[in-house]
Chains A and B, each alone.
Chain A
Amino acid sequence: NAGVTQTPKFRILKIGQSMTLQCTQDMNHNYMYWYRQDPGMGLKLIYYSVGAGITDKGEVPNGYNVSRSTTEDFPLRLELAAPSQTSVYFCASSYWKRQGWTNYGYTFGSGTRLTVV
């Protein structure tokens, strides 16, 4: 049982380049999320998805795009990378039971450390 798998683990980008961070989960969770964590800070939500074909913005969506064509995959696209996007990115998934809106907890990937120079 792999849980949430993120690739790559590390990446260095030049300003203006683009890349896609991959995220896959095998727990059949309905919700998936992308967070960024800056040094000494908590987590900030970039985008989330409530199911295949449905995505929505979080707190800090500018400069990013997502798609969710399947339940398992939730890639994050960075267009025109900027130094402000230097961060650690975490993908997560969770199961929300709609009756009573109960969240049974998040499972996180191991993170992608991105540096933009």
Chain B
Amino acid sequence: AQSVTQLDSHVSVSEGTPVLLRCNYSSSYSPSLFWYVQHPNKGLQLLLKYTSAATLVKGINGFEAEFKKSETSFHLTKPSAHMSDAAEYFCVVSGGFKTIFGAGTRLFVKA
């Protein structure tokens, strides 16, 4: 069985401050984990992925995530938020040929 929980439905940060979007997962398999971003009225774009290589994964636009097996977490971080980061972010877990999408976290960035 698999599940994914995004712990915050909304996160608000000021421009230039760090971003933390939290994701916990469960999986009976060795999972692949992903973060996707969706800007308003756009499709989903892959930010980064973990597929059993290095546990610290670097993605596009300065985002990174760390796979922590002991904590079953895959939190997304960025050192300094930019206005263009305002979007919806989805955490995704894949394993044993099943993929589960999280409910999403909306990131607001204040000037």
Q: How many residues of B contact A (CB 8 A)?
A: 24
Is B99 a contact of A107 with CB atoms below 8 Å? no
Per-residue CB proximity of A91-106 to B under 8 Å, as 1/0?
Answer: 0100010001111111
Whole-angstrom CA separation of A63 from B96 in the bound complex: 28
Q: What's the least CB distance linking A29 to chain B, in Å? A: 13
Is B101 a contact of A105 with CB atoms below 8 Å? no
Is A105 a contact of B49 with CB atoms below 8 Å? yes
- B44 CB contact (under 8 Å) in A41, A90, A100, A104: A90
- Tell me the interface secondary structure of chain B in the complex: strand
Q: What's the least CB distance linking B101 to chain A, in Å? A: 5
Is A104 a contact of B51 with CB atoms below 8 Å? yes
Per-residue CB proximity of B63-89 to A under 8 Å, as 1/0?
Answer: 000000000000000000000000000
Which residue of chain A has its CB nearest to the CB of B90? A42
Whole-angstrom CA separation of A100 from B31 in the bound complex: 10
- Tell me the interface secondary structure of chain A in the complex: strand
Is B97 a contact of A102 with CB atoms below 8 Å? no
Is B45 a contact of A108 with CB atoms below 8 Å? yes
Contacts of A96 in B (CB 8 A): 97
Is A106 a contact of B42 with CB atoms below 8 Å? no
Whole-angstrom CA separation of A106 from B45 in the bound complex: 9
Is B97 a contact of A101 with CB atoms below 8 Å? yes
Contacts of A92 in B (CB 8 A): 44
Contacts of B99 in A (CB 8 A): 103, 106
Contacts of B95 in A (CB 8 A): 101
Q: What's the least CB distance linking A45 to chain B, in Å? A: 8
Is A105 a contact of B97 with CB atoms below 8 Å? no
Contacts of B49 in A (CB 8 A): 104-105
- Could you give 16 example pairs across A and B, Cβ below 8 Å? A42-B90, A42-B101, A96-B97, A101-B95, A102-B51, A102-B52, A103-B32, A104-B49, A104-B51, A105-B34, A105-B49, A106-B44, A106-B46, A106-B99, A108-B44, A111-B43
B residues adjacent to A (C-beta < 8 A):
29-30, 32, 34, 36, 42-46, 49, 51-52, 90, 92, 94-97, 99, 101-104
